Amino acid sequence: ETGVTQTPRHLVMGMTNKKSLKCEQHLGHNAMYWYKQSAKKPLELMFVYNFKEQTENNSVPSRFSPECPNSSHLFLHLHTLQPEDSALYLCASSPPGLATDRQFFGPGTRLTVL
């Protein structure tokens, strides 16, 4: 256990559905991340939040909408996804301030878009 939890662990949705992924960390970290992992791009950074503020949006389509209500919780809202969005979505966190610190990953949500 890394102290980072993600729910749900598996999700199947249609292209017209709206769903949300949740990430929670109890490590006292102030930086949180969303990654997409697929066969084509092993670890693709999507969003970065520092102290609840989004500091990076790595050219992610608007059908992915992140939300960070506080330093412990991170959401990824999904709507009108495409089959190519099927992937493992990983949340990670790291201690505040330092660019050098390790990241702690959650178990991921395996998403399938039909």
Partner 1 sequence: GQQVMQIPQYQHVQEGEDFTTYCNSSTTLSNIQWYKQRPGGHPVFLIQLVKSGEVKKQKRLTFQFGEAKKNSSLHITATQTTDVGTYFCAGPDNNAGNMLTFGGGTRLMVKP
Least CB distance from residue 108 to partner 1, whole Å? 5
Identify the DSSP state of 71: T
Strand order in the sheet with 18-25: 4-7, 18-25, 73-79, 64-70
Nearer to partner 1, 23 or 81 (CB): 23
Instruction: Based on the shown chain and the rule CB under 8 A, indicate whether residue 2 belongs to the binding site for partner 1.
Output: yes
**Could you tell me which of 10, 4, 1 has the C-alpha nearest to residue 95?**
4
User: What mask, x for binding partner 1 by CB under 8 A, covers residues 29 to 68?
Assistant: --x-x--------xx-x--x-x----xx------------
